Amino acid sequence: MTAGPDLAAARGLLAGLPPSPAVWCSGLRKRYGRRTAVDGVSFTVGRGEVLGLLGPNGAGKTSVIKMLLGLVRPDAGEVHLLGRPGRDPRARERVGYLPELFRYQPWLTAAEVLALHVRLSGAAVPDAEQRDRLGLVGLADRTGDRVGGFSKGMQQRLGLAVALVARPELVVLDEPTSALDPLGRADVRDVVLGLREEGVAVLLNSHLIGEVERVCDRVVVLDRGRVAAAGTLGELLGRRELRLRLTGVGADAEARLAAAGRLTRSGESWTVELAGDEGTAEDTAEDTADVPGLVADLVGLGVRVHAVEPGRITLEERLLGILRGDRP
């Protein structure tokens, strides 16, 4: 008896399935002494997805990240990274990690730190590509300088280059912008968006909610070691709105407004709830609805348009609501 045809059939079936998620964790639990830091946390990060981990100080974010990466042993729960069990050291081969706190050997230059990490990872990354990574994080003109003389922000940029240098399929960034100036934060935002375009998954732990709102596809909110909320920004923040101040609205114009979405009115102020909106907050309402077309139609119907303003609640407002226990 040969196993050939069965094996081939099984391979065929597997090949037809979607790739395993970049991160899959279930029932993660961790106690430190009598304190429960993480209490039954489960979530996934899809391939090429940017997931934001949010929550107040001490919520368990860094503990979860360390359990995912095998740096802290969970008391319970399971982890799979890129389709391999977390216990398997090969699971971490294609994972880049920027820790919250780290220090590189101060006597090494930035290029040497990168070369060292390439060697540790076992990946074959040519020198030119390593230099590119330093350029990407804004250190192109400091490659030959010793890390001991780097500012905190420059060290964090180098940490990001280290996380990215071995061509990871999953990048875990624990507070990547805590030491960065606004320009540096914008750079990291661009780096994360670039990774998503390349199909690299990113798990981002950040207290800068605006940053999370701009780059993340989905968000997991931790509170006292548990998942307090999870979902896409569209799901967490609700539908986007278009607020208009209009005069001279006749029946035809009102019908045109109602065709764009659910309509409410208070005097001259009209609010249209835009339908079918699941994008990141980077997109504005104008991206998902034909706002110029709507305005042109209204003007054509004799309406005077005084103001048009896209809006919805911010992630910060929603996060505070979740942590206070408000219903969505």
Ligand X SMILES: Nc1ncnc2c1ncn2[C@@H]1O[C@H](COP(=O)(O)OP(=O)(O)OP(=O)(O)O)[C@@H](O)[C@H]1O
d(CA 166, CA 168): 6
Of 58-77, which residues contact ligand X (CB under 6 A)?
58-63
- The span of 57-65, 135-143, 146-154, 308-316 binding ligand X (CB under 6 A) equals 57-65
Tokens 């042993």 map to which residue?
Answer: 73
- Residue 44 or 63: which CB sits closer to ligand X? 63
DSSP secondary structure string for all residues of 73-140: --SEEEEEETTEETTSGGGGTTEEEE-SS----TTSBHHHHHHHHHHHHT----HHHHHHHHHHTT-G
- The span of 29-37, 107-115, 130-138, 302-310 binding ligand X (CB under 6 A) equals 29-37
- Residue 63 or 130: which CB sits closer to ligand X? 63
Q: Is residue 35 at the binding interface for ligand X, with CB under 6 A as the rule?
A: yes
Q: Is residue 318 at the binding interface for ligand X, with CB under 6 A as the rule?
A: no
- Residue 28 or 82: which CB sits closer to ligand X? 28
Cα 158 from chain centroid? 20
- The token duo for 83 is 């389709």
Q: Is residue 219 at the binding interface for ligand X, with CB under 6 A as the rule?
A: no
Q: How far is the CB of 61 from ligand X (least distance, A)?
A: 4
Q: Is residue 160 at the binding interface for ligand X, with CB under 6 A as the rule?
A: no
- The span of 52-60, 163-171, 257-265, 285-293 binding ligand X (CB under 6 A) equals 52-60
Q: How far is the CB of 55 from ligand X (least distance, A)?
A: 5
- Residue 159 or 261: which CB sits closer to ligand X? 159
Distances (CA, A) of 225 to 35, 50, 237, 293: 10, 21, 22, 47
Of the candidate residues 9, 27, 32, 152, the single one contacting ligand X (CB under 6 A): 32
Taking the CB of residue 306, how many other CB atoms lie within 10 A of it? 11
**What is the sign of the dihedral through the CA atoms of 190, 191, 197 and 202?**
negative
- Residue 56 or 83: which CB sits closer to ligand X? 56
Of 108-147, which residues contact ligand X (CB under 6 A)?
none
What amino acid occupies position 214? R
Q: Is residue 57 at the binding interface for ligand X, with CB under 6 A as the rule?
A: yes
DSSP secondary structure string for all residues of 172-212: EEESTTTT--HHHHHHHHHHHHHHHHTT-EEEEE-S-HHHH
> Which residues would be at the binding site for ligand X (CB under 6 A)?
32, 35, 37, 55, 57-63
